[in-house]
Amino acid sequence: MQFIKCLSFLLFFLTGFAVSAQNADSTSFEAQRMRVNKLIEDRKVKFGEYDLSLEKKSAIFGLFKSKDDMQRTIDILKNIVITDNNIFLETRRLISIKDDEKQKFQNLASEYDKQVSAYMGTINKLQKENEKLKKDIENLEGSDNSSNILLYIALAIIAVLSYLVYRNQKITKG
Q: What is the pLDDT of residues 70-99, one digit of tens each?
A: 888 899 999 999 999 999 999 999 999 899
Backbone phi and psi for residue 64, each to the nearest 5 degrees, phi listed first: -125, 165
Q: Tell me the C-alpha to C-alpha distance, in Å, between residue 5 and each of 2, 111, 125.
A: 5, 21, 17
Split at pLDDT 50, 70, 90, the class of 147 is low
Cα gap 100→39, rounded to integer Å:
23
pLDDT over threshold 60, residue 139: yes
pLDDT over threshold 70, residue 15: no
Cα gap 60→55, rounded to integer Å:
15
Which DSSP letter does residue 58 get? -
- Lowest mean pLDDT, pick from 50-64, 90-104, 144-158: 50-64
Quote the pTM value.
Answer: 0.50
Cα gap 76→51, rounded to integer Å:
10
